Structure 1
Amino acid sequence: MENSIDMDVNAEAVNSIGGIDIGVIIVYIVGIIAVGCWAGMRNKNKEESAKDYFLAGGTLKWPAIGLALFATNISTVHLVSLAQTGFDEGLLSGNYEWMAVFTLVILGVFFAPFYIRSKVTTLPDFLEKRYSRTCRDWLAVMSVVSAIAIHIAFALYTGAVVLKGMFGFPILYSVIGVAILTGIYTVVGGLMAVVLTESIQTIVLLLGACFVTYFCWTKLGSSGESVIDLITSHAQIKNDSGEVIDSKLSMLKSGGHSPWYAFLLGFPVLGIWYWCADQTIVQRVLGAKDENHARVGSIFAGFIKILPVFIFILPGLMFYAIIQQGIIPESAMPTKLVDGKEVIDSSQTYAVMIRELLPVGLKGVVAAALLSALMSTVSGALNSISTLVSYDIYKRFKADADDQHLVKVGRIACVAATIISIIISLQLDRFGSIIQGLNTLIGYIAAPITAVFVMGVFWKKASAKAAVTSLALGFVISLVLMIFSFTGITIPVWSEVPFLMQAFYLCAFYMILIGIISTLNPHEHTVESEKLYWKTPFEALQGEAWKGVGNYKSLSGVLICIMIVLFYTFR
């Protein structure tokens, strides 16, 4: 049943493509590759240093940093899952986007200053300065694995599924094509190419999302009724008696698989790892021109992160209202069998929205936006892998390697990571839920790393032995839990705990472990490590800041106030 329906959807998708759409897609791909290669080749006459290649020569300014952070974060996984969750459950999953704002403030205020001051090239390098070389080794390996599995493989597969649903492209060709095309300018241009193309891709991505949101709004308004009234009406959640018990517009539901308290306690574990301690994301901050650009760029990304709820999730809810109103027939949505019953397959929400709502030409623009989300994530991860392999792994065994040699090794690592990611991504169709599997995987990996970074930056006594023990034990526990998750083996009681709470409990365990071991085995600080922790959280606010609207403290305060108002409005 599902296979025949998929074939029908793909046939409709292929028939909906116009020559203009194809032209837009081709122009976009050629343009991005050209810009990326130009960024890498423009200084060809100069001797290329490793810092130029891996960290853009430390020249990145706050607008580029903010746009690149957002572009690397938003992948096709986000576009697909956020539209789907909007269709299914409303705005609840928007907590992932809005809670990220607070962790970006944490990155800008508390973590970025140490990264810039210590002049590190990678985050494992930072752990060596704060703790020990062994900590650096553990984090380097974990970071390479997570970049390949989480950032690239999942993004490639999910993007290929969407492109198949929209345009009928075979998954195999999409995965290989996007990986190779993205790899070309990433290998040639390094971080400068990545950041430059990501800045363009962010604009295209936001433009495409705004088009989808606009056409959802106008289509819903074509019934002659108030759009807001229709959204509110169809967002109501009723019990069997028809009584309204909740709303899909609420961000603070008390139940479900991701209750509000799980977001409050568990998301910081995922968020601090992802935004403050993951090389793929933080590399843009490491390439900042100075401390203030790093701080303001992070906070600027926080302002942009407000948008996804309104342009990625809300359109999914509006499309649900469109279907319920009969403006577009329910038969437009593909179906699947669940327990012998045919139900709507909401995973195709974004593809159906594009197919049913957008005119010829704009479909190509939105397809370009999808490619933007996919390519920016892949390019960012490839660049971080090349940096990690060169500095944290290869140079460990060949300390006298010069800059040219490190760049060459980085490029080889890019190519190898691309091939491995393609192979892994083509195996992901065996998992029942890609999104759930991805979130669970992140939770397991994030817990020990978040504990080590938070304790190291905020507690003087956090010791190298405690950090190494937590990272090593965390790697083993994470691996076991991941195997259990993907093989269907359940652990009594634990399997019933929401995955965000699992992350919280694991992180609390590692923090307690670090506390006990550090108390028993105090850390012997070096002159350098003495400067890499905050004596008090308020010390972070004493650094030099730009005057006027560019003051990172003022911007942080304004952003936090905006988020409080938004959460209160959608409570």
Structure 2
Amino acid sequence: MNVTSKATIGLDHWGDILCLVLYFALTMGAGILAMCKPSVKDGIKGFFLAGGTASWWQVGLSLFASNVSSEHFIGFAGAGAASGIAIIIAEWNAIFLILLLAWAFLPVYMFSGVYTLPEYLMRRFGGQRLRYMISVMFILSTILAPADLYSGGIFIQQALGWNMYAGVFGIVLLAGLYSLFGGLLAVIYTDTIQVFIMLAGSLVLSIMAFIKVGGYSGLREKYMDAVASSPASYNDTNMYTNFTDNMTSKCGMPREDAWHIFRHPTRADYPSVAILLRMSIGGVFYWCANQTIVQRTLAAKNISHAKGAAVLAGFLKLTPMFLMIMPGMISRVLYPNEVACSDPATCLAVCGSTAGCSNIAYPRLVLGVLPIGMRGLMVAVMLSAAVSTLTSIYNSIATVVALDLWTKVRPVASDRELVFIGRVAVLIVIATSVAWIPVMQNADGGQMIRYITAVIGYLGAPLSSTFLVAMFWKRCTEKGAFWGFVVAAVCGIIRFVLDIINKRPACGEEDTRPLVVSMVHPYYFNAIQIFLGLIVSVIVSLFTKPRTNEQVNQPE
């Protein structure tokens, strides 16, 4: 197979550097402009909800940018390189959840007049304990899944030759400045610019990559032969034969079902039934009960603008197949020795991880396919994606800590004090997230997107069950929702700890992990968590006194 063996590493041409400088100047200018807006200075609503002044197209682009970040470009391209196209189900399924947010959940949030989702649960059920537990769970999920820091660091490492942690520091500095001083309006302003850059740059790269590989037919033909020149040896008879037999391609070989979206329900790395269960039910947390996402829609001028934003964001979710997943597959075809490496020593030399190097698929493609100048633009695209999502997350962290936790410690805290406490919380979360990166880097066979979706599922499933009963069953009581949340959360935390201490076996090694880890796919486990939470909530609620319709603060 005639492929290029190695991509060009580093940006050393003035044209590439100029693109980076212009990008940072443009986004910095947008952030400064937002900081000067009166709404940013109007207390907590101005800082945390942009004063409710954002238009539908701004909110829609911000929703998309907050979700589709460098994590997606790195993770989905890596999943495409290692596994094929099945992961796209998760993206397309999200379209229906975005619409569910705008038409079912958001009217309730706006009617309740809340700033945060834990605050909504407090008003819905009465009492404070659910509010505090969910606030802590949201912060914990941010710390344990620092995907945007890691993916942004990878891109800077590959493009500029810096140490990955130096790149992480640079991204943290830029994102922190926006979220600490500009508030949500600065985030939305920069998101708007970044989405245009991100979509335009990735579209150009995708077109050029398809031309280089010979179009779609060329990719179909060449992908199945894209194997590293020195793949690790293996013996089929020694391969672990339980549920995880097909979780990864055998010793660097492409999967036989790489071009199948719907895969076997038990023997696939992305079983379609599990994905649909996880993303349809468990995805309620991410899209309908996630402070980072919902906070953008609460910043809209009114409900009509929020619904228009949801439609725009849903339309944009159709693009990852062609802008991320297939380019990752093309990268494997063009650079198999790096992207498809399976020997731990080789992978360590290529990307610094013994678990595999599929995560560098997108950076390799950028640096190997694009001409001078365009490479700098695409590095700017990745940095913009990382900064965009991080600013959204950090602003949401500040909101939750200040309004849901600190107000319990200091009920009489002033607006100035709450904004200050939110900023301090962001600094603490940043430090702990960076410290967790080495753990994530080598987890779950080196595929970042698999680790991220698993962790978010374990921690998000309890929230999904809680918000489902809160929204759609008025008979649910505070005790029912609380104990349903606790049961689902304890199950998820136990499974997460077992995943961390029992690493996925390397190619050819026997799988000695506990059966609950090796035999139960994380997505199925997420569904089990949610159903357990719902069952416990129903049983406990039926034996406890419900609140009256007047006490339940939501529309009929």
Scaled to the shorter chain, the TM-score interval is 0.7 to 0.9
The alpha-carbon distance between structure 1 residues 141 and 333, as it changes in their structure 2 partners (threshold 3 A), is: closer
Moved more, 419-428 or 373-382: 419-428
Matched, 1:80 2:74: yes
2:42 alignment partner, SS class: coil
**2:455 alignment partner AA:** L
Matched, 1:518 2:528: no
User: Segments of 4+ in structure 1 off by > 6 A?
Assistant: 339-344
- Residue 452 (structure 1) shift: 0.6
In 2: Cα distance, 1:307 partner to 1:515 partner: 39
Partner of 1:445: 459
- Residue 526 (structure 1) shift: 5.2
**1:250 alignment partner AA:** H
116, 122, 132: which one aligns with 2:116: 122
Matched, 1:95 2:101: no
In 2: Cα distance, 1:135 partner to 1:61 partner: 32
In 2: Cα distance, 1:279 partner to 1:447 partner: 15
Matched, 1:137 2:144: no
The alpha-carbon distance between structure 1 residues 529 and 329, as it changes in their structure 2 partners (threshold 3 A), is: closer
Q: Is the 8 A contact 1:9 1:165 kept in 2?
A: no
The one-character-per-residue Cα deviations of 1:57-112 (angstroms, maximum 9, x if unpaired) are 11122111111111111122211121122223322111111111111111111111
**1:51 alignment partner AA:** K
87, 98, 106: which one aligns with 1:104: 98
176, 188, 194: which one aligns with 1:201: 194
- Residue 235 (structure 1) shift: 6.1
**1:212 alignment partner AA:** L
Q: Is the 8 A contact 1:246 1:253 kept in 2?
A: no
1:289 alignment partner, SS class: coil
What is the TM-score of this pair, normalised by structure 2? 0.85
159, 165, 176: which one aligns with 2:169: 176
Partner of 1:34: 29
**1:128 alignment partner AA:** M
Partner of 2:491: 477
2:17 alignment partner, SS class: helix
404, 413, 430: which one aligns with 2:416: 404
Partner of 1:154: 147
Matched, 1:416 2:453: no
Correspondences of 1:268-347 after superposition (within 5 Å): 268-320=280-332, 323=333, 328=334, 330-331=336-337, 333=339, 335-337=341-343, 345-347=357-359
In 2: Cα distance, 1:518 partner to 1:405 partner: 38
Matched, 1:68 2:62: yes
2:38 alignment partner, SS class: coil
- Residue 507 (structure 1) shift: 0.7
Unaligned stretches of 5+ in structure 2?
226-235, 237-254, 349-354, 504-512
17, 31, 39: which one aligns with 1:22: 17
Q: Is the 8 A contact 2:282 2:530 kept in 1?
A: no
In 1: Cα distance, 2:102 partner to 2:286 partner: 14
The one-character-per-residue Cα deviations of 1:201-250 (angstroms, maximum 9, x if unpaired) are 111111121121011122123xxxxx23323434679xx9xxxx976443
Q: Is the 8 A contact 2:331 2:339 kept in 1?
A: no
Q: Is the 8 A contact 1:166 1:354 kept in 2?
A: no
Matched, 1:220 2:226: no
- Residue 419 (structure 1) shift: 2.9
- Residue 435 (structure 1) shift: 3.2
- Residue 17 (structure 1) shift: 3.1
The one-character-per-residue Cα deviations of 1:381-439 (angstroms, maximum 9, x if unpaired) are 10001100110011122222222222222222233333333333355445353433222
Partner of 1:224: none
1:419 alignment partner, SS class: helix
**1:41 alignment partner AA:** C
In 2: Cα distance, 1:39 partner to 1:63 partner: 17
- Residue 47 (structure 1) shift: 5.1
2:343 alignment partner, SS class: strand
Partner of 2:386: 374
2:467 alignment partner, SS class: helix
What is the TM-score of this pair, normalised by structure 1? 0.82
Partner of 1:49: 43
In 1: Cα distance, 2:275 partner to 2:538 partner: 25
Partner of 1:544: none
CA RMSD of aligned residues (A): 2.8
- Residue 264 (structure 1) shift: 1.7
In 2: Cα distance, 1:345 partner to 1:428 partner: 14
In 2: Cα distance, 1:310 partner to 1:47 partner: 41
Moved more, 53-62 or 83-92: 83-92
Q: Is the 8 A contact 2:90 2:276 kept in 1?
A: no
- Residue 167 (structure 1) shift: 2.8
- Residue 177 (structure 1) shift: 1.1
Partner of 1:231: 219
Matched, 1:250 2:245: no
The one-character-per-residue Cα deviations of 1:500-522 (angstroms, maximum 9, x if unpaired) are 11111111111111111111114
2:304 alignment partner, SS class: helix
How many percent of aligned residue pairs carry the same amino acid? Answer: 28
Q: Is the 8 A contact 1:270 1:442 kept in 2?
A: no
The alpha-carbon distance between structure 1 residues 116 and 345, as it changes in their structure 2 partners (threshold 3 A), is: same
**2:263 alignment partner AA:** K
The alpha-carbon distance between structure 1 residues 427 and 23, as it changes in their structure 2 partners (threshold 3 A), is: farther
The alpha-carbon distance between structure 1 residues 465 and 309, as it changes in their structure 2 partners (threshold 3 A), is: same
In 1: Cα distance, 2:91 partner to 2:441 partner: 26
The alpha-carbon distance between structure 1 residues 344 and 512, as it changes in their structure 2 partners (threshold 3 A), is: closer
**1:392 alignment partner AA:** D
In 2: Cα distance, 1:276 partner to 1:13 partner: 41
- Residue 22 (structure 1) shift: 1.2
In 2: Cα distance, 1:47 partner to 1:332 partner: 50
In 2: Cα distance, 1:445 partner to 1:330 partner: 35
1:335 alignment partner, SS class: coil
